[in-house]
Amino acid sequence: MIATIKTALNAQSISELIDEVCTLVETGEGCWKVEYGKRILFLIVDADHDRVRIMTPILKEEDLEEDDLWDVMEANFDRSLDARYAIGDGLLWSVFLHPLTDLSRNLFLDGLDQVVTLANNFGGSFCSSDVIFSSE
């Protein structure tokens, strides 16, 4: 059996990927504000804590209806894959969190897509992809 060598991403390789697939809006050390899929995304790499975060705001927390809150919680259980709905800084977000040392190019690109899809599907299917894990 031939072993497959997996190359984990780092801040530099993520920056290069961002240049390939996103429109850069703003950058800082280990963080980027980009346009991707007609949405503004924030990407943060924290090598010290081995984490990468991709996120996009959806709406103000104060505009979130109680029924929507239940829908996003249920979606986090059975309609989202690696992206999740989260509340922070007074906003509802679509967020992808992953260990940096285990992050591949394909998983990073899939994370971008899932974050955008989950945000776009807020108020509708609340799904991050076509895959749904449901007990119904």
CATH code of the domain in which 80 resides: 3.30.1460.10
Domain count, the chain: 1
Q: Model confidence over 5-57: pLDDT tens digits? A: 556 788 899 999 999 999 999 999 999 999 999 999 999 999 999 999 999 99
pLDDT tens, 103-133? 999 999 999 999 999 999 999 999 998 765 5
The pLDDT score that the predictor gives to residue 63 is 96
**pLDDT computed for residue 92 by the predictor:** 98
Q: Is residue 114 part of a domain?
A: yes
In a domain, 130, yes or no: no
The predicted-structure confidence for 51-102, as pLDDT tens digits, reads as follows 999 999 999 999 999 999 999 999 999 889 899 999 999 999 999 999 999 9
Alpha carbons 106 and 110: distance in angstroms, whole number:
6
Report if residue 136 sits inside a domain: no
Residue 129 located in a structural domain: no
Pair 134, 125: CB distance under 8 Å: no
Q: Which residue has the tokens 């299917």?
A: 125
Question: Is 6 inside a domain boundary?
Answer: no
Domain containing 102: what range? Answer: 11-120
pTM more than 0.85: yes
Query: Is there a domain that residue 89 lies in?
Result: yes
Q: Could you tell me the pLDDT band of residue 136, with boundaries at 50, 70 and 90?
A: low
Considering only residues 118 and 4, tell me which one the structure prediction assigns the higher pLDDT.
118
* pLDDT at site 8: 76
Residue 128 lies in a domain: no
135 in any annotated domain: no
